[in-house]
């Protein structure tokens, strides 16, 4: 593979912007420029990314504690210290992302950890890649953490998510988080417009639209809430942040 061609380091990418906001080093000048420009119009972007990552850790901890031993982490982003297979070390995990850098940086563990390149916009392809490692006849935790806000409304993200959930058996779970426009709407709109000029989709959505992702599922307490309010624990660093700085809604729900 020619990284210079496939990675397109001259253009910002959502996974690498997220990596930069989390303090990672797997990013390039175009990603850092986009992130810094975004922080200039909305300083909450870094807080949102970090609070969202803490939600991922707590959600995976809860799911593993509930007996789930298979995870499908879609839009997983670049591997980090608190990646799903590290939080749930006894589980089988398939990471899926459409950024080739994610797969390049990932390290497969035969029979337990797999990195696959696919796109949420093609749910059947995601499922096919997942089925190469996971047993889709048994419960799976589907993780869509900070992913759906990178799809336009015209791409019908609710339908893409529903296709994935429909393919999973009873007892499976969906853990999803998404930027909301309910808080600090002007700042998030400014960030959305700045990203669009750079070729990056960022689509904050109102709470009722985000709630649609969970239709037909049984929400785990406390339901759909700002991610730093979802079962906070002693390991959190963002739990006392103002709600408007976080502006990410998330929930975990069980498929009956």
Tell me the domain boundaries of the chain. 3-254
According to the model, what pLDDT value does residue 3 have? 38
User: Which of the four pLDDT bands, split at 50, 70 and 90, describes residue 102?
Assistant: confident
What is the three-class DSSP state of 226?
strand
What is the three-class DSSP state of 109?
strand
Residue listed under structure tokens 């608190």 = 82
Tens of pLDDT, residue by residue over 166-207, are 999 999 999 999 999 998 888 888 888 888 888 888 899 999
Look at 6 and 52; give whichever has higher pLDDT: 52
User: Which of the four pLDDT bands, split at 50, 70 and 90, describes residue 5?
Assistant: very low
Mean pLDDT in residue range 31-37: 86
Which of 75, 73, 81, 93 has the alpha carbon at shortest distance from 24? Answer: 81
CB 205 within 8 A of CB 180: yes
Mean pLDDT in residue range 131-146: 97
Query: How many angstroms separate the CA atoms of 42 and 212, rounded?
Result: 26
Joined together, the tokens standing for residue 252 give 């975990």
Query: How many angstroms separate the CA atoms of 45 and 21, rounded?
Result: 8
CB 199 within 8 A of CB 174: no
Which of 26, 34, 70 has the alpha carbon at shortest distance from 200? Answer: 34
According to the model, what pLDDT value does residue 7 have? 61
Outline where 170-219 has alpha helix (H): 185-197, 207-211
Query: In the predicted model, what is the mean pLDDT of the chain?
Result: 90
CB 65 within 8 A of CB 141: no
Domain over 3-254 is classified CATH 3.60.10.10: no
User: Which of the four pLDDT bands, split at 50, 70 and 90, describes residue 6?
Assistant: low
Beta pairing, strands 92-97 & 113-117: parallel
pTM across the whole model = 0.90
Q: Does residue 4 have a pLDDT over 60?
A: no
Joined together, the tokens standing for residue 188 give 């998030």
- Going from the C-alpha of 33 to that of each of 11, 36, 152, 198, 200, the distances in angstroms are 10, 5, 23, 10, 12
Joined together, the tokens standing for residue 118 give 């696919």
């Amino acid at each position: 593979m020619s990284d210079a061609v496939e990675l397109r380091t001259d253009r910002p990418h959502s996974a690498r912007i997220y990596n930069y906001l989390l303090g990672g080093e797997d990013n390039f000048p175009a990603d850092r420029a986009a992130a810094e420009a975004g922080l200039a119009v909305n300083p909450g972007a870094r807080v949102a990314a970090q609070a969202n990552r803490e939600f991922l850790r707590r959600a995976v901890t809860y799911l593993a504690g509930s007996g789930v031993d298979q995870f499908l982490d879609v839009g997983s982003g670049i591997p980090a210290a608190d990646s799903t297979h590290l939080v749930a070390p006894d589980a089988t995990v398939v990471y899926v992302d459409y950024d080739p850098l994610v797969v390049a940086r990932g390290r497969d563990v035969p029979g337990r950890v797999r990195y696959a390149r696919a796109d949420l916009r093609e749910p059947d392809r995601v499922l096919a890649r997942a089925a190469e490692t996971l047993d889709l006849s048994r419960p799976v935790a589907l993780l869509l953490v900070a992913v759906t806000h990178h799809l336009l409304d015209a791409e019908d993200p609710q339908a893409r998510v529903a296709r994935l959930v429909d393919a999973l058996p009873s007892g499976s779970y969906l853990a999803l988080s998404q930027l909301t426009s309910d808080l600090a709407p002007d700042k998030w709109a400014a960030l959305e417009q700045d990203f669009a000029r750079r070729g990056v989709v960022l689509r904050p959505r109102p709470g009722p639209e985000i709630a649609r992702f969970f239709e037909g599922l049984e929400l785990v307490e406390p339901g759909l809430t700002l991610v730093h309010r979802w079962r906070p624990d002693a390991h959190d660093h963002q739990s006392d942040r103002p709600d408007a700085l976080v502006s990410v809604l998330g929930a975990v729900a069980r498929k009956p």
